[in-house]
Amino acid sequence: MPRKKKICIVVIGAESSGTRLATRLCIAAGCHGEATALGQQQYGGWPQKYDVQEPEGETPIVIRRTMPYHPYRDWFDLHTFSERIEGWGYEVRVVVTVRELGAVAASQRAHFYTESVERGEIECDRVHDIIDDWLTEQEYKHVWMDYEDLIKAPLKTINSTLWKVGIPKLTKLPFRIVDGNSKYMEK
């Protein structure tokens, strides 16, 4: 009998781009992992479970990453990161979260991830370039998930995203999706 393929969904994007939300939705669809530390340090710092211990064969798993990786402001090496996951025997699939540039940069500033909105916008562009180069080189199955589409049509958007990375669709939303952009938009 053939072995079941082990899958790791990497949810990645700029800080405040919706990675936590996308990860929570992957977990609701059956992935093993953690979306957030809920503001609490865990595992001796801020890392997630799979940063400090290898999975025990569970599949699919989900790992969330933002760039630069807060609170360390780390521009980590995506190749080393994905090689570690592949070393565990997992096939890497990727969900890239994107959000309207002004809103994501304003959110970053409001949460002290960057010193200015302008700097946040520059870093977001850099994040997208780094991720795009990595995906092109690695040829991973991937999808770019738009935060604004998720707000407009949540179930349709998440199910399209899940389908593209081979995760079962949701029959209903596990929680309410709210528009996090409106508070940052000019009135």
Between CA 146 and CA 166 the distance in angstroms is 18
What pLDDT does residue 163 have?
96
What pLDDT does residue 184 have?
80
What pLDDT does residue 38 have?
53
Domain 7-36+47-181 has CATH 3.40.920.10: no
Spatial CA neighbour of 144 closest among 78, 105, 181, 94:
94
AA letter at 3 = R
Query: How far from 152 is each of 4, 15, 147, 181, CA to CA, in Å?
Result: 35, 21, 9, 12
What pLDDT does residue 187 have?
45
Q: Could you report the average pLDDT of every consecutive run of 10 residues in the chain (187 residues)? A: 83 92 94 74 62 89 84 78 96 97 88 85 93 96 96 96 95 93 74
Question: Residues 6 or more apart from 50 whose CB is under 8 A from it?
Answer: 33, 61, 63
